[in-house]
Amino acid sequence: MKVILLHEVPGLGQAGDVKEVADGYARNYLLPRELVTPATKANMATLTDRVTSEKRKREKVEAEQAALAAKIEAASLVFSVRVGSGGRLYGSVTNQDVANALLELNQISVNRRAIQLSDPLRHLGTFEVPVRIAPKLEPKVKVTLVAAGSEEEKAAQGSQIVTPAEPEPASAE
């Protein structure tokens, strides 16, 4: 019996595949579980329509993701932070701070979990922070940390500077 797979069936194929299976296997296992549909002319036409529709949707999503990646690549964030001895920050700049700055300054909405910081940024400098948009699409946003009141901050006044949220002090009860 010729069938169209509606879902992935281990050992048989992926959704949308047309396969030839034993009649008993189709009648007793695949059809009752609604894993397949018979490969009639009408079902084959529906399958081709569904495949072309899904292809158009996928292309549209990929184009949107590419546009978002270009916007992220073009973005440059400058954080004005308080610094202690040796250039270490009081606190840190986290993926949440980067996500908030992207939204505030560039109107780019990104989930904080998509920002691939292995550790929070705790030193002054310029960093390339990857943002995972899709499995094979990871643009990098340029993040610069400058000391508050320093010459670098004054030089960066032409660009917008973000001050990360200060950590909440522990309340003494």
Going residue by residue through the chain, which has 173 residues, state the pLDDT in tens, using 9 for 90 and above.
999 998 889 999 988 889 999 999 999 999 999 999 999 999 888 888 888 898 999 999 999 999 999 999 998 998 888 888 777 788 889 999 999 999 998 888 999 999 999 899 988 889 999 999 988 899 999 999 888 876 665 555 545 667 666 655 555 54
Instruction: Please report where in the chains the tokens 């609604």 appear, as a residue.
Output: 34
Residue 113: per-residue pLDDT: 92
Instruction: Please report where in the chains the tokens 């009408």 appear, as a residue.
Output: 42
With 0-12 CB in 10 A as exposed, 13-18 as middle and 19+ as buried, what is 111? exposed
User: Which residues have a Cβ under 8 Å from the Cβ of 22 and sit 6 or more positions away?
Assistant: 1
**pTM, full prediction:** 0.67
